[in-house]
Amino acid sequence: MKTGSAAHDLDYLTHLAADSARFVQALAQTPPEARVLTCPDWDADDLLWHLGQVQWFWAAIIGRGLTVHAEVENLDNGGRPAGRDGLLAFFGQASDGLRHNLAAACPQTSAWTWSRDQRVGFIRRRQAHEALIHRIDAELTAGDRTPTDPDLRTDGVDEALCFLDAEPAPSAHFAPDPAPSVRVQTTGTGRSWLLWLGQLTGLKETGTAHDEPVLTLAGSDTGEPAAATVTAAAADLHCWLWHRPTRGALKGSGGRLALDRLDRRSAAGNG
């Protein structure tokens, strides 16, 4: 079984194009006012506007060579267009612009992101997965769910688990609990990750105090016994971590503490 982080050698731009196109295709089957099952405050046109804004935003950062937060604070896309046709036109331009700018930039080029990884390569990977997860939202809204690429979904599990393992401030200290750990593993694509439960203490970068239970991702999974295990197809693990409905069942075994902690600290909200 392969362990640790994915190789990040996927063709993210091809996936971004395909999933953005499928996103639009699925939404074309829905009326504008259709509710989005996974984002109940939104209707179908709100979802279309959201992903259009996201893709416009990152296209602008790369295209304008923005590298610090102050430079992105005043970005203005001109506001939401009226009606489905206007939204589709905006999305098409934004999506084309994002793919063009990503293709023209070296992945190692500096760019502002909300992550500690301040490179275009981070945006390339993140936006492929952003389009994928919202494709799923659109398909659920349309009632027309279709198969997705298992290698991209496996990479999505890796990315989501890395979000759980956000690097603390240098002054913070992670004390692992010697007992609770959880192994996440995919069927089909054969990847495995090991996460440790522990307590984070010390100071945050804001100066406030850390003192909370956390999960931290091991650099590699060497096969040592784990307190709990979650096993499923990559697509189902990816959906579970992003609080989207799975198509198949997840198999969980072992200590409930580790399983519950992982369930609570999912990647939901990290767009």
Indicate if the pLDDT at residue 136 is higher than 60.
yes
> Is the per-residue pLDDT at 149 higher than 60?
yes
205 domain residue, yes or no: yes
What pLDDT is recorded for position 197? 79
**Model confidence at 4: pLDDT above 50:** no
**What type of residue sits at position 224?**
E
- Residue 189 covered by a domain: yes
Pairing of β 209-217 and β 2-3 = unpaired
Nearest Cα neighbor of 267 from 245, 229, 240, 248 is 240
Residue 34 has pLDDT above 50, yes or no: yes
pLDDT at 60 over 70: yes
Q: Per the structure block, which two tokens stand in for 218?
A: 């091991």
- 124 has a pLDDT exceeding 60: yes
Domain for residue 2, yes or no? no
In a domain, 220, yes or no: yes
pLDDT at res. 209? 65
Least Cα distance to 123 among 133, 134, 111 occurs for: 111
Q: What mean pLDDT comes out for the span 113-122?
A: 95
Shared domain check, 202 and 86? no
End-of-domain residue from the set 125, 146, 167: 146
| Mean predicted lDDT score pLDDT of the chain | 87
- Is 111 inside any structural domain? yes
218 with 198, same domain? yes
Those residues whose C-beta lies under 8 Å from the C-beta of residue 69, and which sit 6 or more positions away, are: 112
CA angle 207, 211, 214 (to 5 degrees): 115
Q: Is 140 in the same domain as 173?
A: no
Total domains present in the chain: 2
Q: Is residue 245 part of a domain?
A: yes
Q: Could you tell me if 120 and 176 lie in one domain? A: no
Q: How confident is the model at residue 170 (pLDDT cuts 50, 70, 90)?
A: low
Q: State the pLDDT confidence band at 77, using cuts at 50, 70 and 90.
A: very high
Residue 255 and residue 128 share a domain: no
Is residue 67 located within the same domain as residue 129? yes
Asked if residue 142 and residue 163 are part of one domain, the reply reads: no
Same domain for 110 and 29: yes
176 and 251 share a domain? yes
Look up the CATH number of the domain holding residue 78: 1.20.120.450
Mean pLDDT of 76-97: 97
How far from each other are the two terminal CA atoms of the chain, in whole angstroms?
A: 29
CATH number at residue 165: 3.30.1050
Q: What backbone torsions phi and psi does residue 114 show, to the nearest 5 degrees?
A: -80, -5
My answer on whether 124 and 75 are in the same domain is yes
**What range does the domain containing 216 cover?**
156-264
The secondary structure of the chain as a DSSP string is -EESS----S-HHHHHHHHHHHHHHHHTTS-TT-EETTEEEEEHHHHHHHHHHHHHHHHHHHHTT--SHHHHTT-----PPSHHHHHHHHHHHHHHHHHHHHHHS-TTSB---SSS--BHHHHHHHHHHHHHHHHHHHHHHHT------HHHHHHHHHHHHHHHTPPPPTT-EEEEEEEEEEEEEEESS-EEEEEEEEEEEEE-TTSPEEEEEEEEE-SS------SEEEEEEHHHHHHHHTT---SS--EEEE-HHHHHHHHHT-STT--
Give the tens place of pLDDT for each residue, 176-220: 555 578 899 999 999 999 988 776 666 666 666 656 667 778 878
- In a domain, residue 167? The reply is yes
Predicted confidence band of residue 167 (pLDDT cuts 50, 70, 90): low
Domain boundary among the residues 87, 111, 146 is at: 146
Same domain? 123 vs 182: no
pLDDT given at position 168: 52
Residue 70 lies in a domain: yes
Cross-strand pairs, 156: none
Q: How confident is the model at residue 213, as a pLDDT?
A: 64
Contact, 161 vs 193, CB < 8 A?
yes
End position of a domain, from candidates 91, 122, 146: 146
Residue-wise pLDDT for 211-223, tens only, equals 666 777 887 888 8
* Range with the poorest average pLDDT among 105-119, 196-210, 239-253: 196-210
Question: Residues 63, 171: one domain?
Answer: no
15: number of Cβ within 10 Å: 23
